[in-house]
Amino acid sequence: MGCAGSTAKGGVDHAGDDSRGGGGGHGPQEEEEEYNPLTQDEVNARIVCSKEPERFTLGKSGVTLRYAYMSQRGYYPEDLYKANQDSFKIIRNFDGKDPKEADQIFMGVFDGHGVDGDSCSYFVRDNIEGELKKQIDKFPTDFERAYKEAFIGVNSRMHEQEFDDSMSGTTAIAAFFHGTQFTIANIGDSRAVVGEKKGKRVIAYSLSIDQTPYRQDERERVKASGAVVMSCDQLEGIVPYHENWGVNLGEELDNGGDPPRVWAPGKSFPGCAFTRSIGDSVAEGIGVTAEPELLKKELTEQDEFVVLASDGVWEFLTNQAVADMVLKFTDPLDACRSVVGEAYRLWLQYEVRTDDITMILAFLDISEAGAGEEGISSMRKRRESRRGSADQISVGIDIVGRAGGENRPVRRGLSKEKKAAMAIVTAEIEDDKNDWVMEVVPKTAEERERIKAAVKANFLFQHLNEAQSKQVYDVMKRVTVKKGDVIIRQGDQGDWFYVVDEGEYSVYLTQGGKEVEIIKYTTNGGNNPCFGELALMYSKPRAATVKADKDGVLWAMDRKSFRSILMKSSSMSLTKTLRSVEVLKSLSVGQLQRLQDLLTEVVYTKGDTVIAQGETSENLYVIAEGRVKITKKETPTSEPKLVMDLGPGAYFGERALLTAEPRAANVEAESATLKVLYISKDAFEEVLGPLQDIIDADRQWREKLAHNKQQTQEKEGLSGVTLSDFVFEGIACSVDPFQYVCTKIKGRDYLVKAVSKAKVVSMGWQQRIMAEKELGDILPNHRMVPLSLTTLQDDTTLYTVFKNRISIDLATLIGETGFDEKTAMFYTASVHLGLEHLQQEPNRVIYRNLTPDAIVLDSTGYVQLLDMRYAAKLEPAPTDFCGYAHYLSPEQVSGQGHGHAADFWALGILTYEMITGGANPWLTGDPGKDSEVGIYQRISMHEANGLKFPEGVVVSTELTIFLNDLLNPLAEARLGERGVGAREVRQATWFEGYNWEKLESGRMEAPHKKQAAAAIDAALKAKAKPTSEPYTGDASVFAGFSTLFGQQ
């Protein structure tokens, strides 16, 4: 029987000797280089598994173990050929009796770690049998002692080997069956589980407790030996130090894949995520031991199966989830395949890599035929004697409590690396220039219909109006290709979208230096497939290569054409043009929209004079269609010289709105037809008042804001501050690329947001960081949006100073379990108050960064919206793509411009994640379906009131209504945008009776006030300092940030 699916074509390794041992091994040198690239053949090449289910009868007990095993090597993008560090061992007929009398079998799983983790794991696999037999001979009447000494002995012998086990080792989970009794030995964080029938259900119970620092007893034991327990982020000062690793609070503060680890005092090693291990000689000195914890259990009629598995299974799957999957199968190999496959899928959902995954499953078949006193009747008696003892399922030594003890929490949220992989930010703020000229490409009616049919179901084209659709069909260019032509190449920047009209095209992924075909595009069946749609949204490296298998024809469209069609078909294009006019920069969006209404259209023909040099004119012109040429005479008698020509979207004559001066040049219609929009100075002033008054009022407002900030600076003692006044006390938290640093300035407490210049440039974020600084200059103070007090820089770093110190980010608090509704309500309301402040006049700011990672809390536990990297003035509606794919609203996906409604949508997603512990409504859990295109498709197809919650998550009716109102696919119908404005959110039934005034004034008790205060204390205790790489680039890039100080 094959593994990993009945359609498998690749070779699957099957361990086949009498004493089953497997796992490990290096894969062939044809590995993947991109995230989630594994074909079925490649998955199979990573697997070692049973050829078929095997049976072992436990002597005369009447119990038969029907078992199978499977081990799948992990996928590590940074180490493509890393060996499988998992291994396993099954020893049938352990005592060597006549097979008909044999009643002993050993099963074990070993999970290596460290550079030589594979050698450590294989060493235990290959030597545990001999060592255990030796210890049984030494202690013939004390099996428990022999069992323990066997692992301790293997550990001692490992230290003598040639491979290095100083910082490498292996965990172990083993079961030794002797008749109807078996003993579990546990070292580390692999796990054993039994499925026990309770009424109509089968409940999963742990037969081991993970030996990790999550367990208080284990944590205290290693600390007594001198160990320090911290997560990696805590050690590096990124996350505040705390010891809240107990089950309940540990789940709340679990750092999404950053567990507590064991460190030598004052050192950055060994960093073990477990407290017991075989090997790890350095860690032995701080309490990490190879002595196993044992559990002895008697089988009963109610026991259905036993699972032994490495932590690759348990990272994202609960005991009960595994049990429920196992019970769907009668074949243990099929069950192993299902569990290992699901674990692999979940690793790729939450991470950019996978762990090694190994599992042994034994179904317990009980037959009364031939069962004597040692068989069924004895099992029944034992079951009856245990009734009423629900707290313990074992007898013997080192008893493990029922319900799993203190096993570490199952992860639910995306890792930081996974989130980074899903970020779709366009580094710089896109400038949608209006210099595009539409070129109609002739097509037959049949060709247009084929293009229309091909794109009608694509999410990017579903929301186009009739005029936009017609333009799309008009501008698509015919591309003739020859057999062997490369249409797009993996890794190249993408700018073109294609529709297949004729031919066949193969899609390849580059894996380990070779190209592997994954799909083929053809027009068979009457369909015209298309590819490259992300190129119409933003420039991003192509994920695959497409080649022509035969001569053919494609229809192609570039991103600039597509986005220009979107912009030109809306008033936003005109608003953006008016905003770019220097003398109109002081106008608000509302004033610009009123100005649009005043524009008058006039049409000229080629050669007509629009403006004559020297004449007085009071009109501002904007070109709607056609082109003009601008000429100028140096003297009254000289010939006019061409100065420039202008096309659609350009403007001229803007100074006329301020002063009636003679025009300095001629403007003449150059195209056959010229259509312009104009407004006179008189019409402008009649509706909006004198432009100079508007400019003066805007200047006075800015001067007042600057004066207020200066007064605040003086009050805070920051007037004239330099970097020599900074005393960095500790990093409260980091949200890449920012570090939030607790700082003393002239003896007072402040927060400094520090960002490396080198990192900003490497990410291409210069423009965004400078735009963030400009927003900080004009935003007034608010409880949830603190005032930027001053900005400074040195040779390597940009610094922004705030009054309130930051303690922790919201993602850390959400962890894997999320919040109850009362807690989520506090944070949702707090974020909304910040949005209200940003949206009100004259701020008019869209935040566009409402993710748990970007939202931070101050020392009192109150929300602070400090990360303005994606924030933008609504002047006019922005059209760029930024943030995480699964937070974008439908109007952001469509690319036609978005406003405040996008923030309300994101508020809905944020609240959903808080309630569900990091789950997202657009992620299916299937890596193949959770591509950017798949996510955008689900966002675009989302229907009103169609929100669904993960299984097991129960919320109130009021919250369901609230979230559905925020996640309305129509921006204008979304809560907060339905005419009443942002304050409508406060009136939602979910907030009925909520004390908004108390929250806004800061008098409401924050749910995590104690944790926030503790996090500040921990940051001060850790004393980590901000770090930046040397910057040798162009200093002028950051010239407007602040005064440049030398390196302090």
Mean pLDDT of the chain: 81
Alpha-carbon distance of 703 to 700, in angstroms, equals 5
Q: What is the pLDDT of residues 589-620, one digit of tens each?
A: 667 767 776 778 889 999 999 999 988 878 88
| Same domain, yes or no: 746 and 868 | yes
Task: Choose one of 525, 548, 568: the last residue of a domain.
Answer: 568
How far apart CA 525 and CA 716 sit, in angstroms, is 73
* Residue 847, in any domain of the structure: yes
Task: Report percent pLDDT > 90 for the chain.
Answer: 38
* Residues whose CB is less than 8 angstroms from the CB of residue 859 and which lie 6 or more positions away in sequence, other chains included: 804, 805, 806, 807, 1012, 1013, 1016
Select from 806, 791, 794, 805 the least CA-distant residue to 718.
791
pLDDT at 1035 > cutoff 60? yes
Residue 1004 lies in a domain: yes
432 domain-assigned: no
Q: Are residues 64 and 126 in the same domain?
A: yes
pLDDT tens across 982-1011, in order? 889 999 999 999 999 999 999 999 999 998
* pLDDT for the residue numbered 586: 67
Please determine, for residue 912, whether its predicted confidence score (pLDDT) is greater than 90: yes
Helical pair 691-715 and 766-778, crossing angle rounded to 10 deg: 90
In sequence order, what are the beta bridge partners of 47?
A: 72
DSSP letter string, 43-61: HHHTEEE-SS-EEEE-TTS
- Whether 52 and 138 share a structural domain: yes
pLDDT surpassing 50 at residue 371: no
Number of domains in the chain: 4
| pLDDT tops 60 at residue 96 | yes
Q: What's the DSSP call for residue 766?
A: H
Question: What is the token pair recorded at 165?
Answer: 């086990």
- Say what the pLDDT of residue 539 is: 65
Count of CB atoms situated within 10 Å of the CB of 293: 18
State the residue range of the domain holding 856: 720-1022
- Residues whose CB falls within 8 Å of the CB of residue 872, separated by 6 or more in sequence, listed in order: 429, 771, 845, 846, 848, 878, 880
Query: Does the structure show a pLDDT above 50 at 355?
Result: yes
Residue 627 maps to which CATH number?
A: 2.60.120.10
Choice between 544 and 803, residue whose per-residue pLDDT is larger: 803
Nearest to 188 by CA among 177, 176, 174, 198: 174
Say what the pTM is.
Answer: 0.58
pLDDT at 168 over 90: yes
| 669 and 727 together in one domain | no
Q: Are strands 47-49 and 13-14 parallel, antiparallel or unpaired?
A: parallel
Mean pLDDT value across residues 618-630 = 86
Given 666, 689, 712, the domain boundary residue is 689
713, 717, 724 from 720: Cα distances, Å: 9, 8, 11
Burial of 997 (0-12, 13-18, 19+ CB in 10 A): exposed
DSSP for residue 603: E
Paired strand residues for 554: 479, 500
Query: What's residue 377's pLDDT?
Result: 47
What pLDDT sits at residue 251?
36
d(CA 129, CA 912): 51
Residues 616 and 559 occupy one common structural domain:
no
| Coil/strand/helix, residue 1039 | coil
Same domain, 671 and 748: no
Residue 454 in domain: yes
Residues 478 and 592 in one domain: no
Residue 163 predicted with pLDDT over 70: yes
Question: What CATH number corresponds to the domain at position 153?
Answer: 3.60.40.10
Question: What pLDDT sits at residue 957?
Answer: 96
Nearest to 364, CA basis, from 182, 185, 190: 182
Give yes or no for residue 402 having a pLDDT over 70. Answer: no
The reply to whether 909 and 803 lie within a common domain is yes
* Residue 188, helix vs strand vs coil: coil
Structure-block tokens of residue 394: 């074992």
Predicted pLDDT of residue 926: 64
Tokens at 338, concatenated: 């299902």
Q: Which pLDDT score is estimated for 238?
A: 59
Using an 8 Å Cβ cutoff, are 554 and 479 in contact?
Answer: yes
pLDDT tens figures, 836-888: 999 987 788 999 999 998 999 999 999 999 999 899 887 667 777 787 888 99
Residue 122: alpha-carbon gap to chain centroid:
35
The residue among 923 and 401 whose pLDDT is bigger is 923
576 with 562, same domain: the answer is no
Please give the pLDDT value at position 4.
31
pLDDT at position 823 is 95
Q: In which region does residue 779 sit, left (phi positive, over 0), alpha (psi from -120 to 50) or beta (all else)? A: beta
Closest CA to 209 of 285, 293, 142: 293
pLDDT at res. 417: 57
* Tokens at 54, concatenated: 């095997």
pLDDT at 411 over 60: no
pLDDT at 277 over 70: yes
Take residue 295 and report the two structure tokens written for it. Answer: 């559990």
Domain co-membership, 606 together with 549: no
Cα 175 from Cα 153, distance rounded (Å): 18
* CATH number assigned to the domain comprising residue 921: 1.10.510.10
Start-to-end CA span in the chain (Å): 68
Q: Higher confidence at residue 439 or residue 30?
A: 439
Instruction: Give residue 36's identity as a one-letter amino acid code.
Output: N
Nearest to 468 by CA among 608, 605, 563: 563
Q: Look at residue 370 and tell me whether its pLDDT is greater than 60.
A: no
Q: Is there a domain that residue 302 lies in?
A: yes
In the DSSP assignment, the letter for residue 1025 is -
Whether residue 42 lies inside any domain: the answer is yes
SS3 assignment for 442-491 = CCCHHHHHHHHHHHCCCCCCCCCCHHHHHHHHHHCEEEEECCCCEEECCC
pLDDT band at 11 (very low <50, low <70, confident <90, very high): very low
Q: What is the pLDDT of residues 707-718, one digit of tens each?
A: 666 666 666 777
**How many helices and strands (H and E) does the chain possess?**
29, 44
For 80, 369, 885, the CA distances from 893, given in Å and listed in that order, are 34, 66, 9
Domain membership of residue 226 (yes or no) is no
Which pLDDT band, with edges at 50, 70 and 90, does 777 fall under?
confident
In this structure, of 133-142, 165-174, 239-248, 996-1005, the range with the lowest mean pLDDT score is 239-248
Q: Are residues 164 and 296 in the same domain?
A: yes
Asked if 881 and 983 sit in the same domain, the reply is yes
- Pick from 107-111, 230-234, 346-350: least confident: 346-350
The answer to whether position 300 is within a domain reads yes
